[in-house]
Amino acid sequence: MAKTPAQRIKKHGANAAVPQHQLPSVINPSTSRTPQKAQNNSNLIVIAGVVASLFLFWYVHLLTLNQLTQLSGGLAMPDSLIGGFDQGYVEQLRSAMDGDARGQLNYVHKTAGMLFPLIFGFSWLLLIGANVARKPLRWALWAVPILFAVVRLWANGVIDAMMSADALDAGQVALASGLTVAGWVLLVLSLVAGGTAVFLGRKHASPAAPATGHAQT
C-alpha cells in the first residue's frame, strides 16, 4: 500500500520524497472573451437595433399613418407632414376624423409611435459609441439622436392634445407643427451622424499598408 506524504516524512525525515500535486486549471480557454468577440457582439446588437428601427419607421409612417387617411377623407396625419401644417389644415382634419379615428391616432402614438424614437435613439447611440473614439466628437454626435427622440415624443403628446381639444388653439397648432418639422430634420441629421460614425470607424480600423520593400545586403 502506498504511504501517505505524512507517513513518508515521519519515516525518512527531511529526506522524504513527497510528490507534488498541482490542481487543474479552472479557466476554460474556450470561453475567453477577446476584444474581437466583444466587438462582434456589439456589432450584432447595433445591427439588430438598426433593423428594428427601419421596421418601426415603415410600420408607423408608411403603413399605419397612411391607413389612417382612410378615416380622414384622404387628409394626411400631422406626423407625416414634413413641411408642417397650419390651423386651417388642422380644422379640416379634426372635422373629418370622428372620436374613434382620433383614438386610433392616439393609440399609434402610445405604442409604435413611442417605440420608434426610443429604439432608434438607443440604436444610434450604440452605433456612434462603437465607432467614434474621441469623446467630444462622440458626445456631439450623440446629441442629435437624443434630441430626435425627445422632440418626437413631445410632438406625439402635443398632436394628441391638439386633436382632442374642445377648441383649437393657434399656439398649440404652431408648437405641434414646429415640433413635427424639427423631428424630421433631426431624423435626417441623425442618419448623417450615424453615417459619419461608421465612416470614422472604418477609417480607424483600416490596417496600415504593409511594407513592400526589403532591405538589401
Lookup: cell for 216: 538589401
Cell 504511504 belongs to which residue? 3
pLDDT score of 209: 44
pLDDT score of 10: 62
The pLDDT confidence band at residue 100, using thresholds 50, 70 and 90, is very high
What is the rounded average pLDDT of the residues 65-90? Answer: 96
Q: Is the pLDDT of residue 30 over 60?
A: no
In angstroms, the CA 175 to CA 78 distance is 12
Q: Burial of 160 by CB count in 10 Å (0-12 exposed, 13-18 middle, 19+ buried)? A: buried
pLDDT score of 126: 94
pLDDT score of 26: 54
pLDDT score of 14: 56
pLDDT score of 40: 73
Q: Is the pLDDT of residue 63 over 80?
A: yes
Q: Which has the minimum average pLDDT: 2-6, 58-62, 102-106, 129-133?
A: 2-6
Q: Is the pLDDT of residue 146 over 80?
A: yes
Report the mean per-residue pLDDT for the chain: 86
pLDDT score of 203: 79
pLDDT score of 68: 96
pLDDT score of 161: 96
Q: Which has the minimum average pLDDT: 16-25, 121-130, 147-156?
A: 16-25
- Reported as a single tens digit per residue, the pLDDT across 47-60 is 999 999 999 999 99
pLDDT score of 177: 98
pLDDT score of 217: 42
Q: What is the DSSP letter of 69?
A: G
Residue 106: C-alpha distances to residues 15, 62, 85, 158 (Å) = 88, 17, 18, 11
Q: Decide: 168 and 90 in contact? Cβ < 8 Å.
A: yes
More confident residue, 164 or 7: 164
- Reported as a single tens digit per residue, the pLDDT across 105-119 is 999 999 999 999 999
The pLDDT confidence band at residue 12, using thresholds 50, 70 and 90, is low
